[in-house]
Amino acid sequence: MRECSKYKQNKPESEFYQSNIRKATYCKECFNKYTIQRWIDRKIEAIQYKGCSCVDCGITYPQTPYQVFDFHHLNPSEKDFQWDKLRMKNINIIRAELDRCVLLCANCHRIRHIT
């Protein structure tokens, strides 16, 4: 048994991720929740960095949920990262990539890709 440091509950060793480097302090459930929330927070930070508004139709965050927004590269040949990989980088790398993008809602993003 080991204590999860998030809620101070004792759980079986099998409820923790194994690592050769160090022992996990959060159980799998708490770690996964933390990771998902960190990724959501990163996307919201990126939306705020880009001005919170779709440049084509003008809908805004937080009136519109964060899930609706995409980052569209103006020049696809300059694209270094997809969001699912970029969200794990440090903020300076994220901002450098976002500087090559405009903020679009999902509908406007799809329209840009069919025209």
> How confident is the prediction along the chain (115 residues), in pLDDT tens digits per residue?
999 999 899 999 999 998 777 778 899 999 999 999 999 999 999 999 999 999 999 999 999 999 999 999 998 888 777 777 777 788 898 899 999 999 999 999 999 999 6
pTM for the full predicted model: 0.85
Task: To the nearest 10°, report the CA torsion of 13, 17, 23, 27.
Answer: -70
> Which residue has tokens 């809602």?
105
Question: What is the per-residue pLDDT for 115?
Answer: 67
DSSP code per residue over 9-71:
EEE-GGGS---SSS--SS-HHHHHHHHHHHHHHHHHHHHHHTTSB-TTT--BTTTS-GGGEEE
Question: What is the per-residue pLDDT for 84?
Answer: 76
